[in-house]
Amino acid sequence: MSVRPDTALATADSADADPACAPLPVLGRDVLVPLVTGGEVGYAALDYAASAPALQRVWDDVAAYAPYYGSVHRGAGYLSQLSTDLFENSRVTVHEFLGCRESDQVIFTRSTTDSLNLLAGVLPADTRVFVFETEHHASLLPWEQRSDVTVTYLNAPRTPQQAVDTLEKALAEREPYGPALVCVTGASNVTGELWPVRELAAAAHAHGARIVLDAAQLAPHHPVDIADLDVDWVAFSGHKLYAPFGSGVLAGRADWLQDAEPYLAGGGASRKVARREDGGVQVEWHTTAARHEAGSPNVIGVYSIASACKALTEAGFDNLVAREQELIAKVRAGLAEVPEVKVLSLFGDDAPRVGVLSFVVEGWNSSHFAAALSAEYGIGVRDGLFCAHPLVRTLLGSDPQDPGECGAPDARPGERSLNAIRVSFGAGTPDEHVERFVTAVTELVRDGARWSYRTEDGRCVPDRG
């Protein structure tokens, strides 16, 4: 069932044919922001790795559905039934988008973090978890919340093959030989580098382990096919995939999910509830995805994910990947012309990557540099440790226990800090944004900032006297 009127469809699909324009229009593309030096400029959103702008298509779809919004599941009214159909059809869309096996379940969550915490909660007792220290905190931290699970943190590899070899060795040496889970990213949120997911999955399965793929940074840029990659689960967030409203996905094998207690206890997860003679209650839980989706679901968030999946599929990942590689080449070529800039990398300059690059600038505090990009050029990037503290510290050559916090400069402007700068982009990024970024980096390094800055509440901000 579709509730999107033809007019919304026409608006959503009317992308500018100019190759310099983004292939998928996003909200905010016409927003003007003030500059401290005077005047206004179109905002260059280059922080996609944190939250990508919502696709215009997604926004139009949600706006078309909004008048039909109703309670999901069990409602007798027309709008409730329509909303239920839309919710469950969205599940089918995501199932197809991820190339799921027929028996795989698609569970809707709040985010990648929520998805991986859900998975951590359903692990069998005495599971051994293997995770590289290079992971985002969403996939690095959930496992130790279980006292009956043992976590092995693997050192940062310097080549894709070293990652496979490191995992092979760790799995082969594990004792006792019981349930095991490998957690790995598909694309680094710090360097953008692609990880050898298929090879890591083969290594995991060869040693009787399962594997979950953190696809938060991969799914918006590359096709993700569970069956082809042969991974057991995939987790991703809607807000990275051009879909707002705080929804995420955990998709994959059903057995551990069905055998575990519900992630949340409440309505929707329960199939039957009855009083017991001893005064308590007896519960029969659902064995479907509903088992872990208690409470009223985020229907609009779920629909926005499905809409984004359709938009990316219809645009064609081959075309999107090819154009993104052109933007990556522009950024890398521009940064290479500035000797003071060091691009961070695990696997080297030739490693394939998505549109995410982090770097430091000699003689600059990273927060100061990011603040100047925003205030003087209207460019939004991110500075800090990107919720991947061990990885960034490794890439910066510092001790893992050195101080440093996301978004909190440790030094005054002009002094070195244990932070980096990240630029990220995707299907909604026009050429002009990356060209302006390269020009801004060149001018800031060559000429210095045109404004003075100070630290306020842990952020570097323009000093307005």
Write out the H or E segment, with its range, that includes residue 183. Answer: strand 180-185
Residue 134 near residue 156 (C-beta atoms within 8 A): yes
What is the DSSP code string of 70-112?
---SS--SHHHHHHHHHHHHHHHHHHHHTT--TT-EEEEESSH
- Would residue 406 show up in a list of annotated catalytic residues for this protein? no
> Chain centroid to CA 83: how far?
27
Residue tagged active-site, from 100, 183, 309, 387: 387
Residue 223 near residue 203 (C-beta atoms within 8 A): no
Q: Enter the tokens of residue 170.
A: 């760790």
Computed over its alpha carbons, how large is the radius of gyration of the chain? 23
Q: Report which of 353, 103, 50, 141 is spatially closest to residue 233, judged by C-alpha positions.
A: 103
- What spatial distance separates the first Cα and last Cα of the chain, rounded to whole Å? 58
Question: Which amino acid would we find at residue 91?
Answer: R
Residue 453 near residue 413 (C-beta atoms within 8 A): yes
Q: Report which of 41, 72, 118 is spatially closest to residue 432, judged by C-alpha positions.
A: 41
Q: How many beta carbons lie within 10 A of that of residue 84, not counting itself?
A: 18
Residues catalogued as catalytic: 387
